[in-house]
Amino acid sequence: MGSPGAKVILGIDPGIARMGFGVVVQQGHQMKAAQYGTLVTAAHRPLEERLVEMFGKVQEVLRKVKPEAVAMEELFFSRNAKTAIAVGQARGVALLACGLEGLPVYEYRPMEVKQAVAGYGNADKGQVQRMVKLLLGLAEIPKPDDTADALAIAITHAQCSGTMLSEAVKKLSRRTGGSATSWK
């Protein structure tokens, strides 16, 4: 998907009803959005069928875009336990698909994404979305929010990967079980 020397990064914003994905191609300090969208499952179907469907859709995206790395938002605890469990299950399906393809997966906390994209860890969703549009040179903010969030996660990895700080965070998180870990 990218030219020689370009890094292809897939960002995923996990969810069972909607899973955002965004492909960012990085060439030096330049980034562009190659492809993005939202994978959707029908709410009326049983959870196990939705998970199977989402797994197939993630596999299809992985095989089509052939990323060299996948960046995903770290699971955070929600007040709604049922929603948190469903998101966790969808996230597990995405991790499984990446693992079967032999792809490294990097996790980032929401605050890390806001800091990397908007320059401020407490930025609101609108600020992050406007920066996604600006950084990738898009005509408009990608919709729905899940898609813009996935692109923001991919941008975060593009800006952080290979830096001394990124490597230090990965080492620390491996020791403490925190975020920004990589699985191969």
The residue from 68, 73, 74, 145 that is catalytic is 73
Query: CB within 8 A of 28, min separation 6: which ones?
Result: none
| Catalytic annotation present for 60 | no
The residue from 74, 107, 112, 146 that is catalytic is 146
Which residues on adjacent β-strands are paired with residue 19? 39
What CA–CA distances, in Å, run from 123 to 35, 107, 114?
25, 19, 6
Q: Token pair of 175, please?
A: 């020791």
Helical H segments across the chain, by residue range: 47-65, 81-100, 110-118, 125-136, 145-160, 164-176
| Catalytic annotation present for 149 | no
Phi-psi region of 68 (alpha: psi -120 to 50; beta: other; left: phi over 0): alpha
| Catalytic annotation present for 167 | no
The residue from 13, 74, 112, 149 that is catalytic is 13
Please state the φ and ψ torsions of residue 38, each to the nearest 5 degrees: -135, 130
Q: What is the Cα–Cα distance from 147 to 22, expressed in whole angstroms?
A: 6
Query: Mind telling me the catalytic residues?
Result: 13, 73, 146
